[in-house]
Amino acid sequence: MGDLGNVKTFGGVGALFLLIGTFIPYVGPIISIIGLIFVFIAVKSISELAKDHDIFSNYLYHFIFSIISIVAIFVIILIGFGAIGGFSWITSLQDINITDFSTFWDYFGGIIGYAILALFVGWILGIIAAIYLRRSYNSIAKHTKVGLFRTTGTVYFVGAITTIILIGFVILFIGRIIEIIAYFSLPDKLPTGDKKEKSERKCPNCDREIPEDAISCPYCSKKLT
C-alpha cells in the first residue's frame, strides 16, 4: 500500500475486529486473528512509509511478549496441576470435607499458589508487552501527528499495570476504543515539515553559524567568498 488512506482502513477495521472478536462466541477468535493481521499490515506499512523500522519491531515485540504471557500462564497452571496429583487429585475431592479450612488448604493451597504465580508472571510479561506497544504507537504519533496513538499507548500501559486489581481490564477496553479512533483519524499522507531546516553554514574563522547569504561574518567580521 502506498499511502495512509489504505493504512487507515486496515488499522481501523483490524482494531475493531480485535475488539468485537473478544465478545463473539465460536467465531470470535477467528475475527480477532483477522483483525490482528490487519493491524500488523497497517503498522508495517506505517513503518515503511516513515522509514522507521522501530515502529514495526516494537509492535512485533509487543505481540511476542503477549503470546509468551498467555503460554506462561497455561504452562505454570499445567505444571501446578501435575504437581498436586493431576486427575487423581480431582477424583479425591469427592472424599474430603471442604468446609474444614485446614482440609481445604491442604487440598487447594498448592493449586492456589501455582495460580498466583502464573498470574504474576503473566502480569509482568503483559506490562513488558505494553511497554513495546507504547513505544511503537509513540513513534506512529510522532510521524503521523495523530496524538491519539500516544494516548492509546499510555492507556494500554496503565491498563496492563492495573490488571492486577482487575480495573485494568476496563482501561484496556477503553484503550482499544481509542486505538480504533486513532487509526481512523490518520491523514491520507504522512505530514511533511513546514519549517525550513536551520542553516548549517559556519564561519571558517570563528566556527559560528552564520546566515546563508552573509558576505562577512557578523561575529568576527571576516570577509567570506
Encode pLDDT of 6-18 as tens digits.
Answer: 899 999 999 999 9
Q: Is residue 158 scored above 60 in pLDDT?
A: yes
pLDDT value of residue 69: 94
Top pLDDT among 199 and 86 is at 86
The kind and range of the H/E element at 201 are none
pLDDT value of residue 96: 73
pLDDT value of residue 86: 76
Q: Which residue carries 481512523 as its cell?
A: 184
As a residue count, the chain comes to: 225
Contact 18, 158 (CB under 8 A): no
Tell me the mean pLDDT in the region 124-135: 96
**CA 60 to CA 67: how far, in whole Å?**
11
pLDDT 10s digits, 2-58: 478 889 999 999 999 999 998 998 899 999 999 999 999 999 999 999 999 999 999
Buried-exposed string 56-72: b where 16+ CB fall within 10 A, e elsewhere: bebbbbbbebbebbeeb
pLDDT value of residue 200: 62
pLDDT band for position 214 (cuts 50, 70, 90)? confident
| pTM given for the model | 0.77
Of 4-8, 49-53, 164-168, 201-205, where does mean pLDDT reach its minimum? 201-205
Top pLDDT among 193 and 196 is at 193
95 burial type by CB count under 10 A (0-12 exposed, 13-18 middle, 19+ buried): exposed
